[in-house]
Amino acid sequence: MWIKICGIRDLTTALDVAELAPNAIGLNFYHKTPRCVSIDTAARIVHHLPEAVDPVGLFVNHSIDQITATCQQSGIRTVQLHGDEPPQLLAQLSSARTGIRIVHAHRLGLDGLDPLSQYVEECAALKGKLAACLIDARIEGAYGGTGTTVPWDLLNRQYRRIDWPPLILAGGLNPENVGDAIRIARPWGVDVSSGVESVTAIKDMRLVKKFINTARCAFEQVTAGDTSSLDSICDL
């Protein structure tokens, strides 16, 4: 079970979210999103976070130098590559001896998981280390945060859990559908941003709490092998 609340922009929100005990929060360094955070703010957040909550830096087509410098200045040790980064960049980042863990985001489109299969194979051939793969919806001109869901049943059938890194499900998740998403897709983890906002880029703590509680309950029920009463049990 792994739960991440992404798009945190300030220390107060970060600490409020951390009190609800997700596994990770996301700090977005992509300048074209309203959820972008400065390196200085990220460093303050990382400094004050409890050890149990992992700060994940989200990057979109940044260079290796930009990624490593941002991580060094902020204290981030896990990065999420959410752009069009080639396997070669991931391999170079893995070999930089920085201790950085890498999550690769795959935007799922009409071509399904074939591009992901090729990407994972190329990374392995280049000795690039992937901590997890995050699946989001492919929307032309966007790099996530669109609120669009992916086909959960396709992931359940076609994601090669034995051969590929752990699956993190994103894309259009919210407190109302995350239980079904976990039950159908069977991911290792879930990631949410806009689905816990009542105003763009502003986290609603009521929604964050419900999302975390519902996701945690759903994971526990799926692990136990009992999903018959999941909807009623997880309606918190």
Structural domains for the chain: 2-233 (3.20.20.70)
Q: Exactly one of 54, 71, 133, 136 is catalytic; which is it?
A: 136
Q: Which residue has the higher pLDDT, 229 or 156?
A: 156
Global model pTM greater than 0.85: yes
**What per-residue confidence (pLDDT) applies to 111?**
80
Count of CA atoms in the C-beta half-sphere (13 A) of 212? 19
Question: How does the average pLDDT of the chain come out, rounded?
Answer: 91
* CB 147, CB 194: distance < 8 Å: yes
Reported in sequence order, the residue ranges of the chain that DSSP labels E, i.e. its strands, are: 2-5, 24-28, 54-59, 78-81, 101-108, 132-137, 167-169, 189-192, 197-199, 202-203
Q: What is the pLDDT of residue 145?
A: 54
Residue 45: pLDDT above 90?
Answer: yes
Crossing angle, helix 39-48 and helix 11-18, to 10 degrees? 30
136 is catalytic: yes
Inform me whether the pLDDT recorded for 64 exceeds 80: yes
The answer to whether residue 200 scores a pLDDT higher than 70 is: yes
Please give the Cα distance from 124 to 180 (Å, whole number).
Answer: 32
Say if residue 231's pLDDT is above 60: no
pLDDT at 127 over 80: yes
Q: Spot the catalytic one: 6, 71, 217, 234.
A: 6
